[in-house]
Amino acid sequence: MTHPFELSQEIELAATPEQVWDAIATGPGVDSWFMGRTELGTSAGGPASLTMLGHTEQAEITAYEPGSRLETRSEEAPDGRFMAMEYLVEGRGGGTTVLRIVQSGMLGDDWETEFEAMKAGWPIYLETLRQYLQHFAGRAPSVTTAFRPGVGGPDTLWKSVTEALGTTPDVAEGDDVRLPDGTPGVVYYANLPVNLGVRTAEGLYRFIHSGTDRGDALVMGHQNFAGRDEQAAWDAWTAEHFA
């Protein structure tokens, strides 16, 4: 049985409305702070698809008001499930912009678990958007997305991840860390045992714990703004540490 839901959030960003619009209403912009690869059209009726881990979720733009409002709606599943997104951009004084995001639609039988997972997941994406606009605005990334099931539970997962970063599961925002290749970085978001975000001079790196029907999994979504393709390196790292 499906169940309706609505989830909304708001963030004030130190960026112009034009910069925020580019970040939420263009494919390269969304790729710079979200997961996977996004394709977005430039008018109502155009595509709004997300491709991640070999799967593409098709959606359509249902409202397009350049600089202020974007709405999308996914295809409806046979059981009635669908997802709708609304993005509202409002410029404020002092060179800031408020972005409001409303996510709604119909969820499946396990809707409460799905809803809580979405609610817990949005903060790191919004903070990644803030980091992108502050440090990498206008630059297109090379995107890495990786999913590794069977990681042995949250404690084992975070022990492995934090050790690889040269820190501990007590890591906090502002802590200095290093990527497995030795690249120095700083933690911009820490909410263990859920997720962790690291910024380097070249990119943004997210490590996420996900509970699935196959057990605990590590999900990674990284953006390198120096144009370096890091997919193979991170695939090799996950294979080595989570055999």
Over the stretch 19-33, which tens digit does the pLDDT of each residue have? 999 999 999 999 999
Give the pLDDT score at 225.
98
Single-letter code of the amino acid located at 198: V
Digit-coded pLDDT (tens) for 75-132: 999 989 999 999 999 999 888 999 999 999 888 777 777 778 778 889 999 999 999 9
Give the pLDDT score at 72.
98
- The pLDDT confidence band at residue 212, using thresholds 50, 70 and 90, is low
Continuous H helices in 76-216:
111-135, 154-164
Give the pLDDT score at 189.
98
3-class SS at 160?
helix
Domains and CATH numbers, the chain: 3-135 (3.30.530.20), 142-241 (3.30.530.20)
Single-letter code of the amino acid located at 118: M
Check: CB of residue 107 under 8 Å from CB of residue 1.
no
Report the percentage of the chain scoring pLDDT > 90: 79
3-class SS at 73?
strand
Which pTM was predicted? 0.93
C-alpha span between 185 and 179 (Å, rounded): 7
